[in-house]
Chains A and B, each alone.
Chain A
Amino acid sequence: DGGITQSPKYLFRKEGQNVTLSCEQNLNHDAMYWYRQDPGQGLRLIYYSQIVNDFQKGDIAEGYSVSREKKESFPLTVTSAQKNPTAFYLCATSAIPDFNTEAFFGQGTRLTVV
C-alpha cells in the first residue's frame, strides 16, 4: 500500500532520554516535514526537507534533530534538550515542494515523557 508510516503510534520515555520517531514513505515524494501538535496550538513546524541530504529548521527546531539519508525516510530525534517533549508528532510529505501542492500526513506518534 502507498502511504506514510509513522511508528510507533504511542511512545513512552523517561525524562532525559533521547527518542527517535520513525517516518517512512513510499509515495516517492521529494519533500518531508515534521510537525508538533499541542492542544489548542494547531500544528507547528519542527523541521522540513525538500531533498535528500538537505533539511531546514522550522519554527520550533530547538531540542530536535533530523536526518534525510534516503528519500523514503525522515526520522526525528527528540533530545533531552527539548524542555517539554510530550506532544503529538505528525510527519507529512509533498510530491514536490511547491506552494500549490497539498501535504499528506501519517497517522502520528503520541509521545509521553514521564
Chain B
Amino acid sequence: AQKITQTQPGMFVQEKEAVTLDCTYDTSDPSYGLFWYKQPSSGEMIFLIYQGSYDQQNATEGRYSLNFQKARKSANLVISASQLGDSAMYFCAMREDSGGSNYKLTFGKGTLLTVNP
C-alpha cells in the first residue's frame, strides 16, 4: 500500500493566488514526521516545511503552511500569494519512528505546480 499519496499530478494557479497541494499518508506509528520538498527543474530538492505527529499547531514557514488533519491522515501544503518562481514539483514525505531503528524518508509521487502570470 502507498505510504504517501499525492492525488494531483498537476496543478495550475494564477500568480498572487493561494493554492493547496494535497497529501495523505498511511502509518500505524504514533511518532512520525511529515515533510514537504520543492524540486525546481534544475533537480535539487529544497526542504520547505515540517510537521510532527505530536505538534498541536499547524506548521508555518513564510508563505508556506501545512494544514495538518491527523484524524484524516492528511498534511496538505498551502502556498499563499503564489509567485512565478513557485513553479516546480512538490513532494510530500514521511518519516516513521518504527521502533527507533528505521528512519527512512518515504516520498509521494509529487505534484507539478505551474504558476501562470
In the complex, are the beta carbons of A102 and B35 less than 8 A apart? Answer: yes
**What are 9 A-B pairs with beta-carbon distances under 8 A?**
A33-B104, A42-B110, A45-B106, A101-B103, A103-B47, A104-B47, A105-B37, A106-B44, A108-B43
In the complex, are the beta carbons of B96 and A40 less than 8 A apart? Answer: no
Which residues from chain A contact B33 at a C-beta distance below 8 Å?
99-101
Q: Is A90 an interface residue (CB 8 A)?
A: yes
The docked-state distance in angstroms from the alpha carbon of A79 to that of B98 is 30
Which residues from chain A contact B109 at a C-beta distance below 8 Å?
40-42
In the complex, are the beta carbons of B107 and A100 less than 8 A apart? Answer: no
Q: A33-B105, A42-B107 are in contact. Are A100 and B52 (CB under 8 A)?
A: yes
In the complex, are the beta carbons of A99 and B47 less than 8 A apart? Answer: no
The docked-state distance in angstroms from the alpha carbon of A41 to that of B107 is 9
Contact with B along A73-114 (1 / 0, CB 8 A): 000000000000000101010100111111111111010000
B57-111 CB contacts (< 8 Å) to partner A: 91, 93, 95-97, 102-110
Which residues from chain B contact A108 at a C-beta distance below 8 Å?
43-44
Q: In the complex, how many angstroms separate the beta carbon of B4 from the nearest chain A beta carbon? A: 8
User: What bracket does the count of chain B residues touching chain A fall in?
Assistant: 20 to 34
Q: In the complex, how many angstroms separate the beta carbon of A53 from the nearest chain B beta carbon? A: 17
Given contacts A99-B31, A102-B47, A108-B44, 16 further A-B contacts (CB under 8 A): A42-B108, A42-B109, A42-B110, A43-B91, A45-B104, A90-B45, A98-B103, A99-B33, A99-B97, A99-B103, A100-B33, A101-B103, A102-B35, A105-B37, A106-B44, A110-B43
Which residues from chain A contact B43 at a C-beta distance below 8 Å?
88, 90, 107-108, 110
Q: In the complex, how many angstroms separate the beta carbon of A32 from the nearest chain B beta carbon? A: 12
In the complex, are the beta carbons of B104 and A102 less than 8 A apart? Answer: no
Which residues from chain A contact B9 at a C-beta distance below 8 Å?
40
In the complex, are the beta carbons of B91 and A31 less than 8 A apart? Answer: no
- CB-based nearest A residue for B44: A107
The docked-state distance in angstroms from the alpha carbon of A7 to that of B43 is 14
The docked-state distance in angstroms from the alpha carbon of A41 to that of B103 is 21
Q: Is B50 an interface residue (CB 8 A)?
A: yes
- CB-based nearest B residue for A9: B43
Q: Is A63 an interface residue (CB 8 A)?
A: no
